[in-house]
Structure 1
Amino acid sequence: MLEFKHVTKRYSGGKPAVNDLNVTIEKGEFVCFIGPSGCGKTTTMKMVNRLHEATNGEILIDGKDIKDQDPVKLRRSIGYVIQQIGLMPHMTVKENIVLVGTLLKWSQEEKEARAKELIHLVDLPEAYLDKYPHELSGGQQQRIGVLRALATNPPLILMDEPFGALDPITRDTLQEEFKKLQKELDKTIIFVTHDMDEALKLADKIVIMKDGEIVQSGSPDEILRSPANQFVEDFIGKDRLIQGQPDVTTVGQVMSGSQVTAQEDESLKDAIGRMREKRVDSLLVVDENNVLKGYIDVEIINSNYKKASLVREVMETNLFTVRQDSLLRDTIHKMLRRGAKYVPVVDEDHRIAGIVTRASLADMVYDTIWGDGLEVEEPIAQSV
């Protein structure tokens, strides 16, 4: 558990950067600090590992005041991820991951085993351990930065806008991966961001700051339903659909259970025949166990029908998916940002559970604004 008790940080006798901060963060909680530039959120985080020293007050980790601990040992016991990643360019990926372990004098066998264990958490092959940072994409480098923070298995991890420099698609993917990791590993996270969508997606608790003080803290739904004042309401933004219909929060509540599919080994001729029969312009591709493998559409078929005969030869495998428990507001933003006409819903084994279309979202918006007086008819096309 992490506690801030009447914590103040003042630089050179001026106005406090953080003023009389009081907040408790429970074990395993994901807490996002958010607010405008200069509000004190990064200063608050850096006081936890004593990169900045508090002027007044107490910061306690599991009941122990951090001022009574050696700052170097304290920092080695806390994971730390920054936006710039900070990988050592002259070190391999493996050496970067176990850097703190090297400082703690781990054996070569311990470092080797830990690096191999961690690289699988983010679905990167072991061969990447021998690469250098410049050989990796920005998203892959950020994954390694996260693994380095996890290397010593710290109970507490600090993250300072770690995904801010990435493109939106890579950022979405890493957010999903890290939230899943956090739940699996039961880590306590302090996450600094300026992006409200990111905070709403990741956080168990959001702490909104202004001028060095906490304006409001609570769960994402609590803040969305009951903003403390006009500042919070403006900072959240009025365009988030959950404010209009707070009882609808997850994908599973709006998804349709019907979708049109094709088998991997099916012929393109049969696939286009099914499109014609069902009046759709795309098909989700599955294997014999209904595991989603990709999709095909009329454009893909039109470009490849002369040089391919089977669905698996031309299907696109890079497909955005969500789970039934995914937040609806987050899914909506992703669909709009990607220009997606629909998104498949999958279970933990990546089997198709349903689909969310723009038409189903239109139903929800219609009911929210005008009630149930009329139905918005679901178009027969899978893509609308």
Structure 2
Amino acid sequence: MLRFEHVSKVYKGKKRAVNDLNFEIQKGEFIVFIGPSGCGKTTTMKMINRLIEPSEGKIFINDENIMEVDPVQLRRKIGYVIQQIGLFPHMTIEQNIALVPRLLKWSPEDQKERAKELLSLVDMTPDYLHRYPSELSGGQQQRIGVLRALAADQPLILMDEPFGALDPITRDSLQTEFKKLQRKLGKTIVFVTHDMDEALKLADRIVIMKDGKVVQFDTPDEILRNPANDFVREFIGKERLAQAMPQVQTVDQIMNPCPVTVTGDVTLSEAIKIMKQKRVDSLLVVNGNNKLHGYIDFDVIDRKRTKATKVSDVVMTDIYQVETGMLVRDTIQTILKRGLKYVPVVDENGRLVGIVTRTNLVDVVYDSIWGEGDTTSIS
């Protein structure tokens, strides 16, 4: 899909911002570039769509030398998302999303249908089409920025720290949402970040750069287990290195397969009895097909029980969940950042299959750091 052959960028004939890069990126890969400030990661990405011209070497997209392609036409074939989002305030959401399709002479009907289709991918309803960016939250605006990059169905998307300006919880949600979207659509992503946690969560492979050179280009797990040198080891940090778990990889391997659940038609008094019997302070709410709907807890029931009689009257639907196959180390980060007690695990259809608790994760971390030996001496 994307190939660098001895690519360098030299400024003023002396400073090499990027020096002799050689690597290949396969179709459908999510590649993250990371490194300290001034390492050349953003310069590398911008050379792909010729916002910065390479001084030496060649860059190929599908075996075509990008220097032999008109730069305007090249950029219309590549999606591009930046941290500042760059939505046009005077345009509606529909007009912002359909910007490139409009330049490519799509019909107005096709533009609108594409915008509606993309909104549905991020659980936004068609009524957003006629709103303006100022009417959206920061997280919603960032979603629209991502959708605009997908609008013309470009196979390659460049993303320059797109979630950097968001608050931690919104950022974490968008990371999860976008990774899921990327897998579904099969896009090739080149993503620049300064956040190692973000790189570990999103990437199929990570490019760690220093002084314009690639220091290590490998999968997150391989980088965690086998850092190339002291620079990589220090850049990753001891806490993250402790997350390298050779035995446990996904939430499926550590989840409790039988979480305590209740359906919406159950009365609140019955729900309280179930909590007492099971010695839990919350219940996951599912429908008849075991699809996760939300949760209830003692606090919610206490606040609303005077006006409610059934679980469906008080259920909280804003619940963080993960899909089967998600990496344990990503779940650890989310639980720590959000202060969660547990995370429900669902299948691709949203059906509840298990639950990961803080206790599950503590056991995994203990095993990864101290092994399976006696830990009774640890204070």
Q: Deviations over 1:319-374 (max 9, x none)?
A: 11112211101100110111111111111121111111111122223333444456
Q: Deviations over 1:208-239 (max 9, x none)?
A: 00011100001111111110001101111111
The one-letter amino acid of 2:105's match is K
Partner of 2:93: 93
The one-letter amino acid of 2:199's match is A
Alpha carbons 1:294, 1:316 under 8 Å: kept: yes
Partner of 1:363: 363
What CA distance in whole angstroms lies between the structure 2 residues aligned with 1:206 and 1:169? 23
SS in 1 for 2:191: strand
Partner of 1:283: 283
Alpha carbons 2:193, 2:199 under 8 Å: kept: yes
Partner of 2:255: 255
Q: Deviations over 1:46-84 (max 9, x none)?
A: 011110001111111111111111111111111000010
5 Å-filtered alignment, 1:347-362, equals 347-362=347-362
The one-letter amino acid of 2:196's match is M
Distance verdict in 2 for CA 1:50–1:368, change over 3 Å: closer
Across the aligned residues of Structure 1 and Structure 2, the Cα RMSD in angstroms comes to 1.5
Partner of 1:44: 44
Q: TM-score, normalised by structure 2?
A: 0.96
The one-letter amino acid of 1:268's match is L
The one-letter amino acid of 1:111's match is Q
Partner of 2:2: 2
Does residue 134 of structure 2 align to residue 155 of structure 1? no
Q: Which runs of 5+ in 2 are unaligned?
A: none
Q: Which runs of 5+ in 1 are unaligned?
A: 377-384
Distance verdict in 2 for CA 1:187–1:371, change over 3 Å: closer
What CA distance in whole angstroms lies between the structure 2 residues aligned with 1:230 and 1:353? 41
Does residue 18 of structure 2 align to residue 18 of structure 1? yes
What CA distance in whole angstroms lies between the structure 2 residues aligned with 1:327 and 1:311? 32
Partner of 1:316: 316
SS in 1 for 2:309: coil
Residue 125 of structure 1, CA deviation: 0.6
SS in 1 for 2:16: coil
Partner of 1:127: 127
Alpha carbons 1:242, 1:249 under 8 Å: kept: no
Partner of 2:75: 75
Distance verdict in 2 for CA 1:375–1:17, change over 3 Å: closer
What CA distance in whole angstroms lies between the structure 2 residues aligned with 1:322 and 1:161? 23
What CA distance in whole angstroms lies between the structure 2 residues aligned with 1:268 and 1:257? 25
The one-letter amino acid of 1:239's match is E
SS in 2 for 1:305: helix
Does residue 323 of structure 2 align to residue 327 of structure 1? no
Partner of 1:267: 267
Alpha carbons 2:283, 2:296 under 8 Å: kept: yes
Residue correspondences, number: 376
Single out whichever of 78-87 and 13-22 deviates more from structure 2: 13-22
What CA distance in whole angstroms lies between the structure 1 residues aligned with 2:332 and 2:241? 9
Alpha carbons 1:241, 1:329 under 8 Å: kept: no
What CA distance in whole angstroms lies between the structure 2 residues aligned with 1:52 and 1:176? 30
Q: Deviations over 1:115-171 (max 9, x none)?
A: 222221211111111111111111111111111111111111100011111112211
Partner of 1:245: 245
Alpha carbons 1:204, 1:219 under 8 Å: kept: yes
What CA distance in whole angstroms lies between the structure 2 residues aligned with 1:370 and 1:327? 20
The one-letter amino acid of 1:335's match is I
SS in 1 for 2:256: coil
Partner of 1:137: 137
What CA distance in whole angstroms lies between the structure 2 residues aligned with 1:208 and 1:96? 33
Alpha carbons 2:28, 2:187 under 8 Å: kept: yes
SS in 2 for 1:239: helix
Residue 196 of structure 1, CA deviation: 1.0
Q: TM-score, normalised by structure 1?
A: 0.94
Does residue 181 of structure 2 align to residue 181 of structure 1? yes
What CA distance in whole angstroms lies between the structure 1 residues aligned with 2:341 and 2:60? 48
Partner of 1:379: none
SS in 1 for 2:288: coil
Partner of 1:214: 214
Partner of 2:116: 116
Single out whichever of 126-135 and 232-241 deviates more from structure 2: 232-241
What CA distance in whole angstroms lies between the structure 2 residues aligned with 1:9 and 1:113? 41
The one-letter amino acid of 2:332's match is I
The one-letter amino acid of 1:275's match is M
SS in 1 for 2:169: helix
Residue 241 of structure 1, CA deviation: 6.3
Alpha carbons 1:242, 1:248 under 8 Å: kept: no
What CA distance in whole angstroms lies between the structure 1 residues aligned with 2:262 and 2:279? 14
What CA distance in whole angstroms lies between the structure 1 residues aligned with 2:267 and 2:375? 38
SS in 1 for 2:296: strand
